[in-house]
Each structure stands twice: as C-alpha cells, then as structure tokens.
C-alpha cells in the first residue's frame, strides 16, 4: 500500500519509492531528507479540508511536508 492511504499517526516502514514517478529534484530532496527505503515515518498532519493536501510526516525528530502526489509514490508497510 502507499503512504497516502496509510492511517495517520501510525508508524510505517518505507518498502520502496517509485523514483520514476517523481521529478528529479524532488527525488533528490526526498532522499536527502531521508525519505527512502527502510525509513520509518508517520503522517502527523494532513492539510486543509477538502483535498487534505499536503501532508506532514514525522521522520526521527524532523517534520517534513510533502504533497499527496509524492506520498502516492511511496510504498509502505506497518512498522
């Protein structure tokens, strides 16, 4: 399942990222931030009502904002 559909607040382990679905710079940025295979993340906030976009991830001690489109390229499993 993808991170976008994962329950908020629960820890998820990233099992893979579809880099081809992301722009080159976005992929680089995600990697640099540590959003990559093996990392444990949790969705802590979802954006404004309606589309619920973007979303905020917790990764270690960092909070990272990404769009749902990015979250759809990230496969996860419950950690």
Q: Which residues bind another protein (CB under 8 A)?
A: 22-23, 25-26, 28-34, 36, 38, 44-54, 56, 59-67, 69-70
Q: Which C-beta is closer to another protein: that of 54 or that of 75?
A: 54
If you write DSSP's letter for every residue of 6-45 in order, what string do you get? SPTTS-EEEEEE-GGGS-HHHHHHHHHHT-STT-EEEEEE
Closest to another protein by CB, 22 or 76:
22
CB of 24 to another protein, least distance (A): 8
DSSP 62: E
């Amino acid at each position: 399942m993808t991170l976008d559909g994962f329950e908020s607040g629960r820890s998820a382990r990233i099992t893979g990222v579809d880099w081809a679905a992301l722009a080159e710079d976005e992929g680089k940025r995600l990697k640099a931030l540590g959003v990559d295979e093996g990392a444990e993340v949790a969705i802590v906030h979802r954006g404004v009502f309606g589309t619920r976009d973007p979303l905020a991830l917790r990764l270690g001690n960092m909070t990272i904002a990404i769009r749902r489109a990015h979250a759809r390229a990230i496969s996860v499993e419950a950690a």
